[in-house]
Amino acid sequence: MKDKICNKTKFISQYINGELDTKKYADIKAHIENCSICQDEYNSLKEADDFLSLYKEEDVPRILNQKILNNSQIYKTHFSFMKSLAMAASFLIAFILGIYISNASLDTNTNDTAYDFGSETLYSLFDGEN
């Protein structure tokens, strides 16, 4: 548990990395010289920064890049196939449901004939026949 907290410790990492403007840099530099909390923070961050700078960056081998790209192409192809399959299944389900609903909505009473169903026409309404 920290007994004391300084509100300028949040700038120390930026100070070490040279990311502060000139005025802020000078302000933090003067503050670190007079604040034991910030001196401790500066020393621990500087030690970590120095340690990490010992490791050099290396380029990734080209073969690794190619393997990653090939694997991503395989997944893209697989995803495209699955997407097409899902769309086809959706259309099939919609078609079957459409047939089922249209059959269920038709009256299965055999007393009605096509003639009775269509006997009332616009002409018969004007003619006075029902």
pLDDT, tens only, 66-114: 788 777 777 677 677 788 889 999 999 999 888 878 776 665 555 554 4
Residue count (the chain): 130
With cut-offs at 50, 70 and 90, classify the pLDDT of residue 1: very low
Q: What is the average per-residue pLDDT within 43-60? A: 84
Contact 8, 35 (CB under 8 A): yes
Residue percentage of the chain with pLDDT more than 90: 23
The one-character DSSP state at 18 is T
| Alpha-carbon distances of 40 from 3, 20, 101, 127, rounded to whole Å | 13, 20, 77, 105
pLDDT at 30: 93
State the sign of the Cα–Cα–Cα–Cα dihedral 104, 109, 114, 115: negative
Measured torsion, CA atoms of residues 72, 75, 77, 79, in degrees rounded to the nearest 10: -140
